[in-house]
Structure 1
């Protein structure tokens, strides 16, 4: 006999609706999966189910007073039988049977009490208010591999590997220029530069400080490179650095470029939160959205995502998400749930689910055809900086609070957590084969995780001891201090990682 938290949530939600507390019911609906239960079981559950179950529980507790453990009739309890038996009395009886759990070593120093162990050989560590379990077996596989750069390139703010040619890398920095580099590889981990092509935006004094490449993305077929600069201009280049087209509509810094899978259309967003859909062949702007309200200074978001061949999502006002369609002048709908700037989107095409992250410290999962989020993950103490699907169920995320976390949308819970040194994490990047996950920290250090080991640790951790403590597999440290990571990018074979820094050269690291 068992009952899940989701089933309890559903009964409470039904009770709130039946008693007319619609606002409270709506809040619970957004924080849980009650709509899914209602669709499956709603017609089979009668009105007043929660009250009925509570009354039966009270009756069962009262009946326990009449029968002893050996099935003999117990003496009449005059105190309880003289009163009308109610919920409070039932709870008092249970509390008398179960001794109160008193705090042990309540006044220990924080660093002494942060780690404890239980009789199952599992240590428990408190991280940001979350108790994390870790095996005490002394596993030798916790050795952290030191990663070294294969080569270095000039300083850049962003870099991207060609998705179809693993030996082609584009990076962009100052001087309004992006560079396409062709490598040759004699042996694994050994790269040499064969050719370089410079993709130059025109220098202009119209916009102060408008010479930096802020965004670049390869088309899915690897034939075209879109680059955006601080002035708002977007240009399209061939793989050998020839100019294909110029796109001029934005008036502020380009923050996002997202290609459609057809390699023809792409979406751009700027710091004024203007989103534009382009036809790369004709150079024309097909549609434009500007959801920002007049006078609003706060950024709505720094990401966008295609959620189908002709649909996409962009940040909206007050943490909302606008669902748009190519050819439609107005958004199809609005997804409400987040309350602050949106930081990351990732779409899972097989399940048609979207995960979003925000400065409100939460992640949310949205299902196709539903305007309410099916999951809301809380626990981070600072902004969430990245969120990606590991598979059809699990999500991996990073946060400014210095944690990497793994979540499950099916059971709506935190599965694993890693915090190495509490340094803020600025970005996270999942390799194309989804076998490696790299996080970039404020101090310039890279931590590498193998997803198969992450899932193995979670599988081997009893559910009662989740979230599991996730071990770090690799580490890379730059030679310079005071150097923040601005971007991470994997090559198509998931063996090389390029790292862009705020004040030093771009590093290319061989992961293997």
Structure 2
């Protein structure tokens, strides 16, 4: 997507008109004729688009600025992270990584194109897509599209920004730009609208393992925990001062990890039990903000990544890191687990998962946790700052998104290979089902068969 200076001027003029700033809009129009914006994109602009573009670009902009600053700024922080601290294990020494073999691959072609979207989620073979003009739509295996449109919505800013299925794939939760959350059945019927507790766009929705509770996070860092049966919020936390991005991750049906600083200082993680107001455990192992969490139910390990370029591994109920992984030279922007027979748990007792880490420095690490000490099994050099990593445990595939493309890799115990590139820049959300990858962008949503 490209914006000319004339189109930017037009968006600013539109914003003045929408906010009732008629004098400012008139002055701008007289100065530069902003109302006569040129270009094919202008015809598709709708109310509030300037604010939407700014909000959606905020996280990526912060990542890129942090990466650029990190290169010139304090290597001392990295060195400090590698030194022993009270209650923190020494950083793991990384062995020489084996980089995946380069293969000549043509760009992959999409098998289906859908409307532009901000979020995608598979519930079995049903695809939920958050779109701009509806709450969402559900794509059936037959190709039929079920539009989920809330009839009484009054605001044009109520389009979907986050979607998530229950573990049984019977209900999909849809969060909107206005902060509302609604639950829909798999056949497109409205189940219930949750009471309003957010006043900003929803950026994350996550059900607990049995589907009885839903965690919601908005773009300002506000968090709510919902009882799905009763349709009420059991816990609500306001925007944290001095921190915008907040991450939550379910440990089990009643336990939740959060980076919200209500219960832990900057650089920490708190473990909460539903129904209890104070954290049961506080983790402290980062020297900068923690921005991403990922829990692996196989090994019972929680991974945390932060702006200090470090990944910590925790047993979810003890306050000391099991391992500290240092390799990346930029903020950690993606964490995911690839369950499968690719290694052993740290205690050697059961099959564990491979940890996938992505960074703003453009690198992706695939970690062998069975090695002593844990080390990189492979390293992927990506073309730009990594924004998303989505794993496919059924077929041992991973999708890596950056500002320019989405790359797909296949993994075995002995090889990591590039399958192909999807030339769709600015991915906002990724989702796998079987060998189908869904990519949502601000201009289109596409499905690829791998």
Q: TM-score, normalised by structure 1?
A: 0.63
Counterpart residue number, 2:375 = 413
Residue 161 of structure 1: aligned partner: 122
Q: Deviations over 1:32-74 (max 9, x none)?
A: 389xxxxxxxxxxxxxxxxxxxxxxxxxxxxxxxxxxxxxxxx
What is the alpha-carbon distance in structure 2 between the residues aligned to residue 222 and residue 251 of structure 1?
28
Q: Is the 8 A contact 2:439 2:446 kept in 1?
A: yes
Cα distance in structure 2, aligned partners of 1:349 and 1:144: 34
Cross-structure match for 1:495: 435
Aligned residues: 349
Residue 197 of structure 1 corresponds to: 147
Aligned to 1:461: none
- 1:225-244 alignment runs, 5 A limit: 225-244=172-191
Instruction: Select 1:508's aligned residue among 430, 438, 447.
Output: 447
The 5 A counterparts of 1:410-449 are 410=370, 411-420=373-382, 422-433=383-394, 435-443=396-404, 445-449=405-409
Matches for 1:5-20 after TM superposition, within 5 Å: none
CA shift, 1:402, in A, is: 1.4
1:222-371 equivalence runs, <5 A: 222-247=169-194, 248-290=196-238, 292=240, 296-301=241-246, 303-317=247-261, 318-371=266-319
Distance in structure 2 (CA, Å) of the matches to 1:289 and 1:298: 13
Query: In structure 2, what is the equivalent of residue 8 of structure 1?
Result: none
The one of 402, 409, 412 equivalent to 2:362 is 402
- Describe the SS at the equivalent of 2:149: strand
Q: Which has the larger radius of gyration?
A: 1
**How big is each residue's C-alpha offset from its partner over 1:88-109, in whole Å with a ceiling of 9 and x where there is no partner?**
xxxxxxxxxxxxxxxxxxxxxx
CA distance in 2, matches of 1:246, 1:377: 42
Check conservation: 2:289, 2:308, Cα contact below 8 A: yes
Match of 1:38 in 2: none
Which blocks of at least 5 consecutive residues in structure 2 are unaligned? Answer: 1-81, 340-351
Task: Mark the CA change 1:266 to 1:154 in structure 2 (over 3 Å): closer, same or farther.
Answer: same
Per-residue deviation, 1:375: 1.4
Please give the alpha-carbon distance, in whole angstroms, between the structure 2 residues aligned to 1:132 and 1:414.
5
Does the 8 Å CA contact 2:267/2:284 hold for their aligned counterparts?
A: yes
Q: CA RMSD in A?
A: 2.7
Equivalent residues of 2:137, 2:145 under 8 A apart: no
Say which structure, 1 or 2, has more relative contact order (CA 8 Å, 6+ apart): 2
Name the CA shift for 1:288/1:487 in 2 (closer, same or farther; >3 Å). Answer: same
Q: Is the 8 A contact 1:344 1:387 kept in 2?
A: yes
Who is 1:381 aligned against? 329
1:467-482 equivalent positions in 2, closer than 5 A: 470-478=416-424
* Long gaps (5+) in structure 1: 1-23, 35-128, 185-192, 458-469
Q: CA deviation at 1:449?
A: 0.9
Separation in 1, partners of 2:151, 2:95: 48
The aligned counterpart of 1:456 is 414
Match in the other structure for 1:31:
89
Q: 1:160 Cα shift?
A: 1.0
TM-score for the superposition, normalised by structure 2: 0.71
